Amino acid sequence: MKAEDLCSRLGIEMSNPNLHQLVKQAQTLIIQIAEHREYKQLLETGYQPDLNIADASTALIYLQWELERNRETSA
């Protein structure tokens, strides 16, 4: 499945988004995953990945901070 098709199904606009928009959309998806019933069931049955939802969220926060820092230095 193409990324564009998947994003369309998820209601994510992909017509030339900037990186800030993509990061926000990714953060929204991560929240939805973390709150999803099936994900919670996996955790209850012992699912313990090396990297988890919190790690992904933290990575996006760091990326967002870097984007903001770059925006400030280029302004």
Residue 51 is given by DSSP the state S
- Number of H helices and number of E strands within the chain? 4, 0
Name the token pair of 59.
């990575």
Nearest Cα neighbor of 67 from 9, 6, 7, 26 is 26
Q: What is the pLDDT of residue 55?
A: 95
The encoded tokens of residue 14 equal 């992909």
- pLDDT of 71 reads 86
Cut 0.95: pTM above it: no
According to DSSP, residue 32 is labeled H
- For residue 15, what pLDDT is reported? 66
Point out the residues of the chain with pLDDT beneath 70: 1-15
